Amino acid sequence: MVDEEVPVQSTEESILTSERFWFALDRQLVGSGLRLLLILPAFSFLTSFGALAYAQTSPNWWSKIEPTVNLSFAMALTSLTFVILFGYIITQIIHRHRTHLSIANFQSEVERLNDEHRAVQSLHGYEGLAHHMTSVRAKHTLSLCYAVLSTLLLVGIFYVNIVTLNGRILLLLSFSFTLLSLGQHMSTRSRPFNMDERTGLLDAYNPPIHPSTLEMVFSDLVKTHMDPLLRSEYEVYSKEIESYILSKIDAQFAREKLLMTLYRHSKGLDFKTMESELSEVLNEKGMDFVRDHPVFTMEEWLSIIHHVERACPAFFRMIGRIEEDLGAGRDTTTQDIVFEVDMENVVHERANLFTLMHNLSDEPKTIVLRVQSPDFRPHDLAMTYKLEPGEQRWWSNKTLPLAAEGDDDVLGLMSGLLRDGTMAWQSLLPERFGEATVSVRLEEQSGDLLIGRQINVRVRSKYRERVRASSSLSANIFGSLGILLGAFIKIRDIFNAL
């Protein structure tokens, strides 16, 4: 009898279902939620110190209990440490197994996309993401090995007794390997990932590059921060939705208005008004497509938009300011040019500088955007832009509602402004911590100043990342020093015995 082959699809679904179970357990108890991976080793340190402190004599109140358990107080604490570390090993196995399932699901998804002739490996950022996932699994493996070795060293104490020097050395070594295990785990907590959620790779993905001038502002911004798998799905989504765009509606305008409306929905725009705005660019089938898409559901869009908003707060603050000006009917700074610039108030690692320029006149204009700062690299940056007139005047001097029928509302004008305007996105690298200044100038080709802005920011490291990195480094240093100290004490004892 010939064995039947197991369908590939059923295997992939089995792995995904398995990850869903282990990820729920990991999120509630192990890696997040109760955080047993941090609590258990912390308790083991307390019991280890207690065992070392009472290695020679037990407290008086223990004399009534010792005949029953037949263990000294130090050995009882050692036994408790063993139980705690055994639980720590179980949590490490669960956490590593969940990570392994996530990587297996990631690889199977890449193979599926390759079979559909969508080469994910060729997308920017894929290699960095894949390397990060495998390196995290390797660190989990090393952390588990250290935890097992620490537990085995505790077992040795039951043979030599903690009263002896060898017993105390074994306890010191066990404590040190637990520190090393914790240090390896701490270094993996900065960029978590999973494949159970469609947006589970966003935090682990680090965008390597981005366009300096955004053609379709919202689309480029969203695609830049999407991981390779999600970006591949978005490319298909964008092509499919073009067939549902109403006639005489520009495809770029429709996509920008779609993303702009979804962003406003994440900020409180009610569902009925959102559908009304989308119906101005999409037909009925398109509305059903957006509403019932299997990948990009409303929940997924909200997660993606919140992720991009956290990564680039300056962009959303800038368009929020423009929306307020449009809604209030305020005039632009200059009569012929819309010019807005923004940057993060607090800079971590790199600064995102966004500049929006739009020509309101009927004739093309050639301008120079100059960015100067003594505190960021590059110190002096100049880019020449030719600003073409827009299809219509995307500005209004009268108050406008946020959403209304037609494009004579804030959403419609903002979508057109982003489509016809020029959005520059520059990454500036800080050279020092503390107060920093950036000067942004809009100049004529002759060098005459049109508009100038000065931005003051504060450069500092991320607090959580700094705590995690310093904790991981400290645990590895003290763990290594503990092993060296244990080896030194044993060597000295051997030489003293000679």
pLDDT digits (tens, 9 = 90+) for 82-110: 999 999 999 999 999 999 999 999 999 99
434: β partners:
459
Cα–Cα dist 253/236, whole Å = 18
Which range of 149-158, 201-210, 389-398, 443-452 scores highest in mean pLDDT? It is 149-158
- Parallel, antiparallel or unpaired: strands 449-459 and 346-347: parallel
Place of tokens 């990991």: 26
Mean pLDDT of 387-406: 72
Contact 328, 402 (CB under 8 A): no
451-453-454 Cα angle (round to 5): 155
At residue 441, what is the residue type?
R
* Token pair of 359 as six digits: 């020509």
The average confidence (pLDDT) of the chain is 87
Q: What is the pLDDT of residue 60?
A: 85
pLDDT of residue 406: 65
Residue 2 confidence (pLDDT):
41
**pLDDT at res. 430:** 92
Single-letter amino acid, residue 102? S
Are residues 372 and 447 in contact, defined by beta-carbon separation less than 8 angstroms?
A: no
Identify which has the larger pLDDT, 264 or 152.
152
Percent of the chain's residues with pLDDT above 90: 39
| Residue 440 CB neighbours (<10 A) | 23
Q: Distance between CA atoms of 50 and 43, rounded to whole angstroms? A: 11
Domains, the chain, in order of start with CATH, read 8-196+466-497 (no CATH), 209-311 (no CATH), 313-460 (2.60.40.10)
Q: Is the pLDDT of residue 332 over 80?
A: no
Lowest mean pLDDT across 11-20, 109-118, 240-249, 487-496: 11-20
Q: What is the pLDDT of residue 8?
A: 47
Examine the pLDDT at 5 and tell me if it is beyond 50.
Answer: no
* Pairwise pLDDT comparison (39 vs 118), residue with the higher score: 39
pLDDT-derived band at 333, boundaries 50, 70, 90: low
Q: What is the pLDDT of residue 482?
A: 93
pLDDT at position 315 over 70: yes
What is the reported pLDDT for 3?
A: 45
- Identity of the amino acid at 244: Y
Assess whether pLDDT exceeds 60 at residue 398: yes
Mean pLDDT of 398-416: 75
Indicate whether 483 pLDDT > 90.
yes
**Residue range 453-461: average pLDDT?**
90
Q: State the pTM of this model.
A: 0.85
**Three-state SS sequence of the chain:** CCCCCCCHHHHHHHHHHHHHHHHHHHHHHHCCCCCHHHHHHHHHHHHHHHHHHCCCCCCHHHHHCHHHHCCCHHHHHHHHHHHHHHHHHHHHHHHHHHHHHHHHHHHHHHHHHHHCCCCHHHCCCHHHHHHHHHHHHHHHHHHHHHHHHHHHHHHHHHHHCCCCHHHHHHHHHHHHHHHHHHHHHHCCCCCCCCCCCCCCCCCCCCCCCCCCEECCHHHHHHHHHCCHHHHHHHHHHHHHHHCCECCCCCHHHHHHHHHHHHHHHHCCCCHHHHHHHHCCCECHHHHHHHHCCCCCCHHHHHHHHHHHHHHCHHHHHHHHHHHHHHHHCCCCCCCCEEEEEEECCEEECEEEEEEEEEECCCCCEEEEEEEECCCEECCEEEEEEEECECCCCCCCCCCCCCCCCCCCCHHHHHHHHHHHCEEEEEEEEECCCEEEEEEEEEEECCCCEEEEEEEEEEECCCHHHHHHHHHHHHHHHHHHHHHHHHHHHHHHHHHHHC
Phi, psi dihedral angles at 353 (to 5 degrees)? -105, 120
pLDDT digits (tens, 9 = 90+) for 284-295: 998 999 988 988
Question: Is 70 exceeded by the pLDDT of residue 317?
Answer: yes
Look up residue 157 and give its two tokens: 């104490």
Q: What pLDDT score was predicted for residue 4?
A: 45
Residues 6+ apart with CB under 8 A from 318: 340, 341, 342, 354, 356
Closest CA to 72 of 164, 147, 148: 164
From the number of C-beta atoms within 10 Å of its C-beta (0-12, 13-18, 19+), residue 160 rates as: middle
Q: Under 8 Å CB-to-CB from 176, ≥6 apart: which residues?
A: 478, 479, 480, 481, 482, 483, 486
Please give the residue that has the higher pLDDT: either 334 or 115.
115
